[in-house]
Amino acid sequence: MTKEIVDEAVRLLREAQETRTPIAPLRERLLPVGDVASAYAVQRAMTEQAVAAGRRIVGAKIGLTNPAVQRQLGVDQPDFGVLFADMAAFDGAEVDVTRILQPKVEAEVAFVLGRDLPYDQVTVADVVRATDHLLPAIEIVGSRIANWDISIVDTVADNASSAMFVLGNRPVPLQDVDLRLCGMVLEHEGEPVSVGAGAACLGNPLHAVAWLAQTMAAAGTPLRAGDVILSGALGPMVPVTPGAAYEARISGLGSVRTRFSGTAG
């Protein structure tokens, strides 16, 4: 993968965001189909530009851990993206939907780390020891690829289709929750629109975080104390309706909510 191709992919993704016009898929015309390494090279280049511009990295998100979401997007493996401080919204806050291209929402368990996870091989026990607390979360996803016509290459290059996130306010100790069995319901104006459970996330959100920690350590960017980790969707993602409110409730963790203003892009 040449620097020129990486730079062109970055330019197209940035232009899509700035002009609010989704672009055609990057696969085939720039990135080889299935070439995940090249897609991560694009993601890294975009991250480096963002950090140079003053944005602060606060963690990472795991994507495509739920078989239902994988079926929706036609992919068969997890991915990850970077979380920046300016992507966070307060619980209950109104989000301007025009900030996000083709927005959707999904409910997740957020891990907040109390210790680094720098290991090449990561066990569930390592994740348990490193976790300071859990929070319920809503991830607001978006895609700069037109009509969500994405492959694994397209979504990875586009920061794993991550746009914003909302965290609950009440920290919960890991030992107080059975993450495999915890149930989730995501409501739109009080009506359920997505349901699921922890087992839908690679069998257990702990497994997803272990996968992420090992993957990021191998990439030379290990997870650190204080990082927020969005561990993956517990149920299918749903399109955002401008002006509507959404609330996610996860058993043992409580609830988190957000509302959208504006007109969808």
Compute the distance between CA of residue 227 and CA of residue 12 in angstroms, rounded to an integer.
Answer: 29
DSSP 112: E
Query: What is the pLDDT, as a whole number, of residue 34?
Result: 83
User: In the chain, count of helices (H) and strands (E)?
Assistant: 6, 13
Compute the distance between CA of residue 118 and CA of residue 65 in angstroms, rounded to an integer.
Answer: 22
In this predicted structure, the answer to whether residue 9 has a pLDDT above a threshold of 60 is yes
CA-CA distances (angstroms) from residue 229 to 1, 104, 165, 201? 29, 19, 11, 13
Exposed, middle or buried by CB within 10 Å (0-12, 13-18, 19+), for 220?
Answer: exposed
Query: What is the pLDDT, as a whole number, of residue 263?
Result: 63
Cβ neighbours of residue 71 under 8 Å, at least 6 residues apart?
none
Give the relative orientation of helices 3-19 and 36-52 as an angle to the nearest 10 degrees.
60
Listed residue (224, 214, 257, 265) closest to 107, CA to CA? 257
The answer to whether 38 and 9 have CB atoms below 8 angstroms apart is: no
**141 has which bridge partners?**
104, 162
The CATH number corresponding to 3-261 among 3.20.20.140, 3.40.50.360, 3.30.499.10, 3.90.850.10 equals 3.90.850.10
DSSP 172: B
Query: What is the pLDDT, as a whole number, of residue 195?
Result: 96
Residue recorded with tokens 């609010």:
20
Q: Give the residue-averaged pLDDT of 10-31.
A: 95
Report the largest interatomic distance among the alpha carbons of the chain, rounded to a whole angstrom: 50
Listed residue (252, 231, 91) closest to 183, CA to CA? 252
Domain boundaries, the chain: 3-261
Return the ∠ at Cα 253 (arms to 129 and 100), rounded to 5°: 100
Q: DSSP strand E in the chain: where?
A: 57-63, 79-84, 88-89, 94-96, 104-113, 131-141, 162-167, 183-188, 191-197, 228-233, 238-239, 245-250, 254-261
Q: Write the pLDDT tens digit of every residue in 221-252.
A: 999 999 999 999 999 899 999 999 999 999 99
Query: Higher confidence at residue 74 or residue 208?
Result: 208
Q: Give the residue-averaged pLDDT of 32-43.
A: 92
Residue 242 is encoded by which pair of tokens? 């401008």
Residue 122 is encoded by which pair of tokens? 């990561």
* Residue 49 one-letter amino acid: Q
In this predicted structure, the answer to whether residue 49 has a pLDDT above a threshold of 80 is yes
Q: Give the residue-averaged pLDDT of 215-220.
A: 93
Q: Give the residue-averaged pLDDT of 140-164.
A: 95
Q: Taking the CA atoms of the chain, what radius of gyration do you get in angstroms?
A: 17
Mean pLDDT rounded to a whole number for the chain: 94
Query: What is the pLDDT, as a whole number, of residue 179?
Result: 97
Query: What is the pLDDT, as a whole number, of residue 215?
Result: 94
pTM for the model stands at 0.95
Q: Write the pLDDT tens digit of every residue in 166-214.
A: 999 999 999 999 999 999 999 999 999 999 999 999 999 999 999 999 9
Q: Hey, how many other C-beta atoms are within 10 angstroms of the C-beta on 44?
A: 15
